[in-house]
Structure 1
Amino acid sequence: MSNRKAAGLQGRSPEYSPAYLNNAATTFPKPPGVIQAVADCLGSLPQENGRSNYETGETVQDQCRKNLGLLLGVSDHRRIFFTSGATEAANLVFRGLALQGRHIVITASEHNSVLRPLYNLYGEKHITMVPCGRDGLVSPGAVQAALRHDTACVVVNHCSNVTGAVQDIAAIGAIARRGGALFAVDAAQSAGAMPVQGDSCSADILIFTGHKALFGPAGTGGFFVREGVPLVPVKFGGTGTEPGNMAPSGPGAFEPGTPNIPGIAGLNAGASFILDLGLDEVRRLTGERFMRLREGLLNIKGLSLYGPPGDSGGIISFTVNGLSPSDVGYILQEGYNIAVRTGYHCAPYIMDHIGAPRGTIRASVSALTPEDHVDRLVAAVREIAYADN
């Protein structure tokens, strides 16, 4: 064991409350209204649209669609469909687009929830990956250069879950539209953290998850698909409508089976929390905590930081000279009771581009992160980095 690893563990105890800096994985704490909404839903008569004669007014699904439409920047909220999360949404979307034999453009910052469906469905020879810079940003010009006459779809991660880099989806969307390609945006990390503006960026498809910046429970998420996009259902079952039709084609065809009403109720409460507080205020609170974290880490010698200094969705990645990310994560957990994430963060291709081939330590905050959690992480990393001095 290295001196620094031993120093991080000696005399430390995880008995005090944990400090949580892994909000890019799942936000915590949740707004109290989210917990209450799930409990209230479970304690009330089921309201499953089309599956009971007992239905009262607007459903929580409809309320949630409206709120999500505001946060995703799409006017036709009826085209938002619920899934168990971004992974299921990406699989349903990319399988339903039927892009066999067509060219697809992606970026090096994509998450495995996008990469694996595309590579397994369509094969590497049909995919062009656009690189990103050391700051994690993708040049719209590089996307333009990657287009071909047969490009069918351009897929872009809006906000990197590794570096926090926010791509210019308005510029990239315009390029895709001029090239006659569909434009799909992975907003899993950005939805709820920043304006997505799906309509103005020409997004044909938006994929989102509920348990990150939207403050919803795990097991919630979905996708938006613009009217006219040739997406076919690939998951089948009961819809509550069209009982004799074995090939349902209406919007309900994208939500077969009994919906996760308690989860959607919690997601609706999370979206309502953001809208009531105001997205600008959410960004201000997150930004304050991010800058406190970034400035604290910048003052520690022996660290390398990755990603742009500005708007980041509350995410920062770093490494400690002489220690693997996994060692640092172990010390933080066992010696300081601090939760971060280490490794490749399910985004393997970005690491070589940003100069972190062994992965990174990722710390991430939300608007509700206690400031003392940030200070505890900075103090712990300082001790670990300076242990040999």
Structure 2
Amino acid sequence: MPIYLDNAATSYPKPDAVADSVYHFMKHIGANAGRGAYARARDADDRVYQVRKLLCRLFNHTDPEHVIFASNVTEAINLAIRGIVKPGGHVITSSIEHNAVWRCLKMLERDYDIRISTVPCDSSGMTDVGMIEALVQPNTQLFVFTHASNVLGTIQPIRQIGRIARQHDILFLVDSAQTAGAYPIDIEEDYIDILAFTGHKSLLGPMGTGGLVVNYEGMIRPQKAGGTGRDSISPYQPDYLPDGLEAGTLNVGGIIGLGAAVSFILDETVEEIRKKERFLTHYALKQLQDLDQVIIYGPGDPDKMVGVISFNLLDTPAVEVAYILDEVYEIMVRAGLHCAPTAHRLIGTELVGTVRMSFGYFNEKEDIDIIMSALAQIISKL
């Protein structure tokens, strides 16, 4: 039976209720949200609003109108960064960002003369919070940090980082792609001003869903304009949320599927999901450490990680290991740079990449036993 260990890319399988809810919407409702006064349109609009409320419950936020939907976390991050940072501004970020953040910042650096400061981290990928204060400048407009590395699994000290940002009255944007749904996030306690999330990873929802939770009163400059269903007479994009940042038709079916996924998470509780994924990470690390010719990257401590482990076999390209695991053993892992070259530069794998296995709530201990047996066989043959 095939084994899926690429949950850091997208989670699989999903709760049954996710597909069921998408199907029900497409089959029995199908109307555009916020675009009509008839019953089905009102039903669709209400269902989307209920998902905003569910996300507020999950992240401890109070205003559903400040939950903004986008097609994924990359679009959400670009929307936030480009809508906040102005030409000549300064941004502080980590040394292990995904390209969703890093490429956006580098393009603004090239095109709009912004300045970027990266905070040093140790070899495990942990940010040195003590170095942040010295990087703050009079024109610093934004802190943007990943919550957990998609390469090393390292969970960043966002509460301490957020406190520093708040003390300097600087907006704090958190990329929760690897943590939302699998690790507790409290927007208030963590001093988060903007949380970027994606639906298709640990939130267990459909692809094509994601967005922002905005926890401050300022307005992010819209990066696209168009129909919003309300205030159509104005020639300009509305200056209130969520309309101002949601031009065009939403992925209503996907959002409703995301709502079913978030309901599942709230019922199971994030704490129980975290507990299981921590167990799987601990077990996999222990088994992997017992194999010869294996290099493991990251903290090596499940308390400091999400369910992501990167490793290499000595003298064997990561892509070859992943190919053999798939073709011979039907085990699906990721190989390469994982769209995060800055993290690979830190661990010296920028040219070769790593093999990455990542766990989800529906993986079991037996899945790890099987991949470890497969790796042992690969090592013995090589």
Alpha-carbon deviation of 1:225?
1.7
Confirm whether residue 333 of structure 1 aligns to residue 326 of structure 2: yes
SS of residue in 1 equivalent to 2:326? helix
1:71 to 58, 63, 71: 58
Confirm whether residue 315 of structure 1 aligns to residue 308 of structure 2: yes
In the TM superposition, 1:70-89 aligns within 5 A as 70-89=57-76
2:138 to 149, 155, 160: 149
Confirm whether residue 30 of structure 1 aligns to residue 14 of structure 2: yes
Confirm whether residue 206 of structure 1 aligns to residue 190 of structure 2: no
Give the structure-2-normalised TM-score: 0.93
2-structure distance, mates of 1:320, 1:144: 39
1-structure distance, mates of 2:109, 2:218: 19
The one-letter code of the counterpart of 1:255 is E
Alpha-carbon deviation of 1:144?
2.2
Match of 2:372 in 1: 378
1-structure distance, mates of 2:141, 2:66: 21
Alpha-carbon deviation of 1:320?
0.6
SS of residue in 2 equivalent to 1:386? helix
Bigger relative CO (Cα 8 Å, ≥ 6 apart):
1
Alpha-carbon deviation of 1:23?
0.4
2-structure distance, mates of 1:113, 1:184: 13
Q: Which moved more, 1:309-318 or 1:168-177?
A: 309-318
2-structure distance, mates of 1:253, 1:71: 23
Runs of 5+ consecutive residues of structure 1 not aligned to the other structure: 1-16
SS of residue in 2 equivalent to 1:149? coil
2:240 to 244, 250, 267: 250
Equivalent residues of 1:321, 1:385 under 8 A apart? no
The one-letter code of the counterpart of 2:327 is E
Alpha-carbon deviation of 1:47?
4.3
Task: Kindly provide the CA deviation profile for residues 115-137 of structure 1, in whole angstroms up to 9, marking residues without a partner as x.
Answer: 11111123386111122211111
Alpha-carbon deviation of 1:18?
1.6
Alpha-carbon deviation of 1:376?
1.5
2-structure distance, mates of 1:328, 1:268: 37
The one-letter code of the counterpart of 1:149 is P
2-structure distance, mates of 1:378, 1:135: 23
1-structure distance, mates of 2:85, 2:91: 12
Confirm whether residue 121 of structure 1 aligns to residue 105 of structure 2: no
Q: Which moved more, 1:311-320 or 1:142-151?
A: 142-151
Equivalent residues of 1:152, 1:180 under 8 A apart? no
Match of 1:49 in 2: 33
Match of 2:165 in 1: 176
Match of 2:294 in 1: 303
SS of residue in 2 equivalent to 1:293? helix
What is the RMSD of the two structures over their aligned residues, measured on CA atoms? 1.6
The one-letter code of the counterpart of 1:152 is Q
SS of residue in 1 equivalent to 2:69? strand
The one-letter code of the counterpart of 2:225 is F
Runs of 5+ consecutive residues of structure 2 not aligned to the other structure: none
Matched pairs, number: 372
2-structure distance, mates of 1:146, 1:383: 49
Deviating runs (4+, > 4 A) in structure 1?
Answer: none
1-structure distance, mates of 2:227, 2:195: 25
Equivalent residues of 2:141, 2:170 under 8 A apart? yes
1-structure distance, mates of 2:105, 2:211: 18
Equivalent residues of 2:142, 2:173 under 8 A apart? yes
SS of residue in 1 equivalent to 2:341? coil
